[in-house]
Structure 1
Amino acid sequence: MIDRPPIGKVIRSLRRELNLTQNELASRCEITSQYLSLLELGRVNVSLDTLLVIAAQFERPLSSILLEAETLMAAMSPKRKKRKPAA
């Protein structure tokens, strides 16, 4: 299983920067606040269509949100030790 980038954490951070409640952002995106909550917690998969709508509300390209999520994921993952080559 591969780890998913924490897109929900990025969405929560961007939402808070704009001082929006979950209800406000959900309403603007035409999704339920319950779904947005689960998305921010990383408990549901999100469709590309929904991500595009959310990105539009932040006036940011989707790629910037994905890059931020991948950067956050890299920072959170434990450093892996390099294996020595077999002799």
Structure 2
Amino acid sequence: MNNINYVNLGKKIKSTRKERGYTQEKLAEICDISTGFLGHIERGTRKLSLDTLFCIATVLNVSIDYLLIDSANKSDNFLEQMDSVARSLNPSAYNSFRKTVKILAEHIDEM
């Protein structure tokens, strides 16, 4: 069974690549694939290996889940909002943020 929507995956890769300031050429070079193949990935006309997906996610500094999860409205996705906030913090603030969220999650039933 094939449940991956490669068109949506490709759109997510393309938009994230552009947000991060990478050209197709640079991302393809880093992930050791051709620019043409990356173009096919972004259009959803070719399937990519797990290794290639992992490389793209790593270079773009996002999780594989982020690339695979289809969301109709980015601003309504709580986890994406939290991820965006966390990525904007310096390392010290990020650690405090992460610890705070963890503590809240552990005690959510008490609230």
User: What's the TM-score, normalizing by structure 1?
Assistant: 0.72
Gaps of 5+ in 2: 73-111
Q: Secondary structure at the match of 1:71?
A: coil
Aligned-partner Cα distance in 1 for 2:21–2:54:
20
- The one-letter amino acid of 1:22's match is Q
Q: How many residues align?
A: 70
Output one character per residue of 1:10-65: Cα deviation in whole Å (capped at 9) or x when no partner.
00001110121100110111111010001101100111111001000011111121
1:21 paired to 2:23: yes
Q: Give 1 or 2: higher helix fraction.
A: 2
Q: CA deviation at 1:4?
A: 3.7
**Which residue does the alignment assign to 1:78?**
none
1:45 aligned partner: 47
Residue 61 (str. 1) matches residue 63 (str. 2): yes
Structure 2 length-normalised TM = 0.57
Q: What is the RMSD of the two structures over their aligned residues, measured on CA atoms?
A: 1.7
Distance in 2, matches of 1:71 and 1:12, equals 15
- Cross-structure match for 1:71: 71
Identity of aligned residues (%): 34
Structure 2 CA distance for partners of 1:2 and 1:62, relative to 1, 3 Å: closer
Runs of 4+ in structure 1 over 6 Å off: none
